[in-house]
Structure 1
Amino acid sequence: MKPFIVVAAILRMGILIEREFTALAREHGLRPGDLRVLLALRRSGPRQALSPVHLFRTLMITSGAVSKQVDSLEKNGLVTRIADPENLRGLLVRLEPEGAAIASATMERICSDFCGMQDLTGDRLATTLDVLADLLTRVEDMSGADDRSRWRELA
């Protein structure tokens, strides 16, 4: 019974966090998926650019969904498509200054007062991250996931 309670609690947290994330996206006039693209580009390194393939694999969505989101973000001047210097036929999606500002403001908000997570500090935060890493590894192993999550690298 207790493993079910763990799963139910995780699902409930996911629903509540998604609700808050959606409200945060709307504050910037965006849909949640659009904001996820901006955040993925922000954490991609100094170039703040990724290929569409990398985006859809990272965000675990379809290539069509990434294309639609990038179209919308590009139309609003938050990203641009540029030639990939390492692949003659490839394109990269690059974060533009206004998109970077939105992504930075969002991260600042998430790291300060998002869903009460700011109260997780020190040993409690470390323990929480360890437990989440263990649970995620178990679920990925069980599901045969070949695209392991990279979130542990950010912790």
Structure 2
Amino acid sequence: MQTRPLLERIDRDWRAAQPGLDPSPMRRVILLARTASQLARGVEQVQGRHGLNGAQADLLFTLYRSAPPEGLTPGDLASLSAITPASTTNRLDTLEERGLVHRGPDPADARSRRVRLTPAGRAQVEALLPEHLRNEERLLSVLSEAEQAELERLLLKLVNGLEGG
């Protein structure tokens, strides 16, 4: 079911089941969840054409933009990316098997490892990045630049409150 009719149905059903209940918080959370799901699906379509899923692409993008030449520790990589630390190791295993990242010893701490892009990984990011950005622009294009800025402001306010900041 499309989102707008679903939200209207939820309103009608709640009015019938609990006439005094205000279901607007439920509607808004459902709307955010469905929006996030649609955006993720749209982003992953492009990444999939490059043989990556969203988490793998995010790790490659993070290494490309944030890693010093010696790489990042897996913990630093997890904290700088959009995926959970628990997911990082499995994703790195796959990316390393494909020759896109290299995990090696940390010269400053023999107990630690550093992750860095290989030349193939750097080439993969450089091939994906322009299409990825065009796709995200397309996904957001139903909103004007001013609306996108306002959406970003409101989402930052919401996530800051949820994170306790």
Question: Is the TM-score greater than 0.5?
Answer: yes
> Closer, same or farther in 2 for the Cα pair 1:36/1:48, shift >3 Å?
farther
TM-score normalised by length of structure 1: 0.72
For 2:66, the aligned partner's letter is: S
**Maintained 8 Å contact 1:49/1:93:** yes
Q: Percent identity?
A: 26
Corresponding residue for 1:104?
126
Q: Which residue of the other structure, out of 74, 85, 88, is the alignment partner of 1:62?
A: 85
Matched position secondary structure for 1:50: coil
Residue 86 of structure 1: CA displacement? 3.5
Give matches, 1:87-126, under 5 Å: 87-114=109-136, 116-117=138-139, 119=141, 124-125=144-145
Corresponding residue for 1:23?
45
Residue 135 of structure 1: CA displacement? 2.3
Whose radius of gyration is greater, 1 or 2? 2
Deviations 1:93-147 (A, max 9, x none): 10112111222222211222336157489xx4365235413422332323426xx
Q: Any unmatched runs of 5+ in structure 1?
A: 146-155
* Partner Cα separation in structure 2 for residue 87 and residue 43 of structure 1: 23
TM-score normalised by length of structure 2: 0.68
How many residues align? The count is: 142
Over the aligned positions, Cα root-mean-square deviation in angstroms equals 2.9
Corresponding residue for 1:151?
none
Residue 88 of structure 1: CA displacement? 3.5
For 2:157, the aligned partner's letter is: T
* Partner Cα separation in structure 1 for residue 70 and residue 35 of structure 2: 30
Residue 39 of structure 1: CA displacement? 1.2
**Residue 132 in 1 paired to residue 132 in 2?**
no
Matched position secondary structure for 1:114: helix
* Partner Cα separation in structure 2 for residue 20 and residue 144 of structure 1: 30
Q: Any unmatched runs of 5+ in structure 2?
A: 1-22
* Partner Cα separation in structure 1 for residue 70 and residue 104 of structure 2: 12
**Residue 34 in 1 paired to residue 44 in 2?**
no
> Closer, same or farther in 2 for the Cα pair 1:48/1:33, shift >3 Å?
farther
Residue 21 of structure 1: CA displacement? 2.2
**Maintained 8 Å contact 1:83/1:90:** yes
**Maintained 8 Å contact 1:41/1:48:** no
